[in-house]
Amino acid sequence: MQISQFRLSWDEDPRVPDKAEYGRFEMFTGLIEAICTVKTAQAGAKAMLLTVDLGDLASDAKIGGSIAINGVCLTIAKMAGSSATFEISGETLAKSTLSRLRAGSKVNAESALKATGRFGGHFVQGHIDGTATVKSIERHGEFADIRFAAGPELLGQMVVKGSVAVDGVSLTIAAMDRDSFTVAVIPQTIKGTTLGTAKIGDLVNIETDIIVKTIKKQLENILPQGGALSVEKLKELGF
What is the DSSP track for the chain?
A: --GGGSBTT-TT-TTSS-HHHH-----B-S---EEEEEEEEEE-SSEEEEEEE-GGGGGG--TT-EEEETTEEEEEEEEETTEEEEEEEHHHHHHSSGGG--TT-EEEEEEPPBTTSPP-S--B-S---EEEEEEEEEEETTEEEEEEE--HHHHTT--TT-EEEETTEEEEEEEE-SSEEEEEE-HHHHHHSGGGG--TT-EEEEEE-HHHHHHHHHHHHHSPTTPPP-HHHHHHTT-
* Segments forming the whole domain that contains residue 43: 3-15+24-111
The mean of the pLDDT values for the chain is: 85
pTM for the full predicted model: 0.81
62 and 93, same domain (yes or no): yes
235 found inside a domain:
no
Number of domains in the chain: 2
Q: Based on the domain organization, do 11 and 102 belong to the same domain? A: yes
Residue 16 has pLDDT above 70, yes or no: no
Mean pLDDT over 157-181 rounds to: 96
Please indicate, yes or no, whether residues 162 and 101 belong to a single structural domain of this protein. no
Please report whether residue 125 resides in a domain.
no
> Region 142-171: what's the mean pLDDT?
95
Specify the pLDDT at position 107.
98
Q: Does 12 score more than 50 pLDDT?
A: no
Same domain, 9 and 88: yes
**How confident is the model over 178-203, as a mean pLDDT?**
97
Instruction: Please tell me the least confidently modeled range out of 7-21, 37-51, 174-188, 207-221.
Output: 7-21
Residue 219 included in any domain: no
